[in-house]
Structure 1
Amino acid sequence: MFPSVDGRLAILAVLPTSLFFITSLKRFIRNRQNKFPPGPVPLPLLGNILSLDTKAAWLTYTEWAAAYGDLFFVRLLGQEVVVINSQHVAEALLDKRSRIYSDRPYLATVEPFGWSVVFAFVGYGDEWRLSRRLFHQTFRSDSALKFRPMQIKQAREMIVNLIDDPQNYHSHFATFSSSVAMSATYGYQTSPRNDPLVRNVENALAIGLEVVTPEKAILLKTFPFLLKLPDWCWGSSIKRNARTSSDRMREMTDVPFQYAQDHMVENSAIGQFSMVAENLQRIEKQDQTSRSLFEGALKKAATTAIIGSYETTTSTLMTFALAMVLYPDVQRRAQAEIDSVVGRDRLPTFEDRTSLPYIESVLRETLRWQPIVPLGIAHVTTSDDTYDGYFIPKGTTVMCNAWGITRDEKRYPDASRFVPERFLDVNGALTDDNPAKYVFGFGRRACPGRHAADASLWSAIVTMLATVEFSSAKDDQGKVIEFTPQFTTGLNQYLLFSYHSIFLSLTISSL
């Protein structure tokens, strides 16, 4: 005999309460049996989500680190999260125990927004290993050396564009940032200005970077029906944004890949090779199934190279420009070092790098002062672990707060100021402290393009310091135009300038 309608309703009403009770009981028992890292007290069901600034979570995490230490525990709705706030702890877990900490958590926004084509978000397994191997073959430290002449050439071309059209400096930074990766990955030479493929990258990232974080993805994980709402319904904007982002990501991935395929023969004839063309030629005789799997991994490697190059390098150069405006004494000292070592009859090259320690310290301070990816990309534990007496369960999301590391006042006194001298000893030599060791990530999931990125940043910064001067823009009456730096938020923090906030003037003419 079936229960009555009222009986069924009663059962449906009791089920969620029972589920909540059972889940809470399991957590209570586990918490009594294991010592978790300290952290703020979570609310039932909601956890600590209401106390977190989800637009700039790194700021909240840094505040909590002051209260709970370098390793603390939070709960965001149903997700357990451990936040690391020191380089030492990050190295101990993410580097030395990488077998446990190399996987990625499930982010409900990755697939709908088209970001599954970026292998940085792919789980630790065979697909990820193949994509990273293809990437590593092109951008590992020794291979990246061959890009240096191109990086210097593109940096000088960027200067010509800056001098000719200073107001659109962001566009020039973006073209420079993408040029090396586009050439190395697809054999594509970017146009000096308004390149269509660079514009595709910019459009594709405009939406996705804001949502591919654990804090933002939790909303869609908790309410997956948001992707099924009709377009006219309130709350359907997330579905529309996902559709737009997915279309843009597909275009950004497919168009340059097709270009590489179409130009394989002619580029090979003139001795110009690319990661995509070389690998496609290598698998021509494989069966269709193997070829499809390989092409999928290759597309992921190629797309990741372009996104990584565009986003991090462009944002870092914007931060550098801001620092030069706000700290003119730093700019003058850097220019004086270039003049004394290189002179004014030529422009700096990579052969000068070891003789320019202050320029190196400016690069390091640029990376530290406003880290572009303040929380990196989240890891997840694949098994239970214990560190310093604290229990970290399997399936815990692990985040490294690079912003918190850069704001450690014991390590970096007056941390909010731009002070390159903090990386020089009393004799003017570089110290062992290099923010590149933590801003590019840790362990097996560290940024595989960091060597090429470092060289691109150095070539751009030293060439700009040798050729142009950054200062605040002035109005028609000669008064400085006041502006307040603003940053976007999401996976990265991206500096937004009014195109009339900065003025660039030519300081030498030996281009």
Structure 2
Amino acid sequence: MYFSADGRPGHLLAVLPLSVVVIIALKRFIKNRQNKPLPGPAQLPLLGNVLSIDTKEPWLSYTDWHAAYGHLVFVRLLGQGVISINSQRVAEALLDKRSDIYSDRPYLATVQQFGWSAITFAFAGYGDEWRLSRRLFHQDFRPNSILKLRPMQMRRAREMIINLIDDPQHYHHHFATFASSVGMSTMYDYHPSARDDPLVRMLEDTVTVGIEMTTPENATLLQLFPFLLKLPDWCWGSSIKRAAQTSTDTMNQIRNLPFQSSQQHTSFLGQSSMVADGLQKLEMQNEASKPMFEIALKNAVVAAVMGSYETSSSTLMVFALAMVLFPDVQKRAQAEIDSVIGRDRLPTFEDRASLPYIEAILRETFRWQPILPLGVPHATSSNDTYEGHFIPKGTTVLCNTWAISRDENRYPDASCFMPERFLDANGALTNDDPAGYVFGLGRRACPGRHAGDASVWLGIATMSATVDFSHAKDDQGKAIDFTPQFNPGLVRSLINFPCSISPRSHVHSGLADLF
């Protein structure tokens, strides 16, 4: 007991809460004073580093700063703090080992305005709805579950080869059809036509418009100039508003198409697909749970379809580019397949362990031109401290895959396509596999990575066995020089380039026997 100023008795418990608050505040103040500031370039008042970042290829800016400031680089885009992680070791330490803190997503104005935030759970915040979508997704894309996809993948890979030989000029569309068939078949038992499928075309158009804008840098610019979304159509600068509306409309179509089809065709429910199974489960939910379940199912479906299309087709484009620019790699790949498999059949998944050079090509394709150079942005859900650096809640966190893949200490002559960097002196594969970082890390790693990895490997192996990629030639028979061009945005997709695709001699003479 103690006595107050007026002489009345009191209790220590009455002032204890205030004392605790003061002590905690002092401890936090002292701790924050002890924390080292996050390294990064100097910032301008209000603007931060907005004017210093290459908005078309921001990973190049972050990689340049990596050389100057280290594995953790802090910048500020207007009022938003952003950290670029430039090391796989640090990325694993934060995104994997502290995934309870680093599994949220930041708010990106462009994601919402372009219709992506409510459609694909890749951009959804970390919470119950996201967990349900991911759980539904995993049911069909676990490593054991995707084994049932192999016959369909094999059939589609062979269709792709026929299309490449018959119509080589439109090679990107053939890659897109092959890549998207996995997601479409699994999600809603839809089998795209071999060419000019309307849904594949819709995917291509939607991704082209939306991916370019879904980056933190572009989101910041839209936050800075929100009036761009309200300009009249006749006004200069209104194109972003029209693009946002187009993207939203097409994304809504893709999101609702399988559900509309299932309602119109009762036989759909008797078929095997994630949507059909999900709709049956939806009927068993209580009324309060049905809305969230349906949203989660739609989000999981769109994520699978969009993911299987964009990542796999873009990676196959990179492979084709590498074969044109590095013909010796193609010759060695063909020699391995001819030696191990022969020329009277095509590669199968059972051959994968016997084709280490093809596997090395797959790894180098992932590394050489990573299609997600900054990954999908994470956000911290609480404060954290790493190696003495204070990382506040709400910080946007980027895994700089480009910097990791361009580490000259790990990958000498990193700009060169050299699959042998993943083979030891005996020709066996090393333990270095870029799939460990190109598909993301932590709880937000790509849930379809096993199916995507399998599709890309099969595409590479099948094309290596059957076709030759080479420089396109002009009317005088001279090779056409070109500089590879990439679409900007979250996904670094390769734009069509001039190339020649022709069947290998034994395929041309024995096509029917092979297929």
Structure 1 and Structure 2 fold alike (TM over 0.5): yes
Aligned partner of 2:101 in structure 1 is: 100
2-side partners of 1:261 and 1:66: how far apart? 56
Residues 264-311 of structure 1 show CA distances to partners (whole Å, capped at 9, x for unaligned) of 52562xxx4001101101222434443222111111000000110110
Query: 2:165, 2:501 within 8 Å by CA — same for their partners in 1?
Result: no
SS of the residue 1:110 aligns to: helix
Most deviating of 73-82 and 444-453: 73-82
Aligned partner of 1:112 in structure 2 is: 113
1-side partners of 2:31 and 2:82: how far apart? 16
Aligned partner of 1:35 in structure 2 is: 36
Query: Displacement, 1:239?
Result: 1.8
1:293 is aligned to 2:292: yes
Distance change in 2, residues 1:264/1:141 (3 Å): farther
Distance change in 2, residues 1:44/1:68 (3 Å): same
Of 117, 126, 129, 2:128 maps to: 126
Aligned partner of 1:14 in structure 2 is: none
Q: TM-score, normalised by structure 1?
A: 0.91
Aligned partner of 2:459 in structure 1 is: 460
Could you say which structure has the larger radius of gyration?
Answer: 2
Query: 1:331, 1:465 within 8 Å by CA — same for their partners in 2?
Result: yes
1-side partners of 2:184 and 2:426: how far apart? 41
Unmatched segments (≥5 aa) in structure 2: 1-29
Q: TM-score, normalised by structure 2?
A: 0.90
Query: 1:261, 1:277 within 8 Å by CA — same for their partners in 2?
Result: no
Of 219, 224, 237, 1:217 maps to: 219
SS of the residue 1:80 aligns to: strand
Query: Displacement, 1:243?
Result: 1.0
Of 120, 134, 137, 1:135 maps to: 137
Q: Which amino acid aligns with 1:454?
A: D
Aligned partner of 1:393 in structure 2 is: 392
1:495 is aligned to 2:497: no
1-side partners of 2:461 and 2:61: how far apart? 35
Query: 1:313, 1:453 within 8 Å by CA — same for their partners in 2?
Result: yes
Aligned partner of 1:198 in structure 2 is: 200
Identity of aligned residues (%): 68
Distance change in 2, residues 1:30/1:236 (3 Å): farther
Aligned partner of 2:246 in structure 1 is: 244
Query: Displacement, 1:75?
Result: 1.0
Residues 38-72 of structure 1 show CA distances to partners (whole Å, capped at 9, x for unaligned) of 11111111111111101100011111101111111
2-side partners of 1:110 and 1:30: how far apart? 36
Query: Displacement, 1:484?
Result: 1.5
Query: 2:324, 2:499 within 8 Å by CA — same for their partners in 1?
Result: no
Q: Which amino acid aligns with 2:248?
A: S
1-side partners of 2:79 and 2:209: how far apart? 26
Query: 1:187, 1:260 within 8 Å by CA — same for their partners in 2?
Result: no
Q: Which amino acid aligns with 1:493?
A: R
Unmatched segments (≥5 aa) in structure 1: 1-28
Residues 398-444 of structure 1 show CA distances to partners (whole Å, capped at 9, x for unaligned) of 10000000000000000000000000011100001000000000000
Q: How many pairs does the alignment contain?
A: 480
2-side partners of 1:504 and 1:263: how far apart? 42
Distance change in 2, residues 1:328/1:266 (3 Å): same
1:444 is aligned to 2:443: yes
Query: 1:36, 1:392 within 8 Å by CA — same for their partners in 2?
Result: no
2-side partners of 1:80 and 1:284: how far apart? 44
2-side partners of 1:143 and 1:374: how far apart? 29
1:504 is aligned to 2:493: no
Q: Which amino acid aligns with 1:52?
A: I
State the Cα RMSD in Å. Answer: 1.7
Most deviating of 68-77 and 411-420: 68-77
Q: Which amino acid aligns with 2:430?
A: T
2-side partners of 1:102 and 1:456: how far apart? 27
Distance change in 2, residues 1:248/1:154 (3 Å): same
Query: 1:85, 1:402 within 8 Å by CA — same for their partners in 2?
Result: yes
Residues 7-35 of structure 1 show CA distances to partners (whole Å, capped at 9, x for unaligned) of xxxxxxxxxxxxxxxxxxxxxx9986642
Aligned partner of 2:180 in structure 1 is: 178
What are the within-5 Å matches in structure 2 for residues 111-510 of structure 1? Answer: 111-116=112-117, 117-263=119-265, 265-266=267-268, 268=270, 272-498=271-497, 500-507=498-505, 508=507, 509=510, 510=514
Query: Displacement, 1:263?
Result: 4.2
Distance change in 2, residues 1:236/1:264 (3 Å): same
Aligned partner of 1:54 in structure 2 is: 55
Q: Which amino acid aligns with 2:43?
A: P
Aligned partner of 1:65 in structure 2 is: 66
Aligned partner of 1:22 in structure 2 is: none
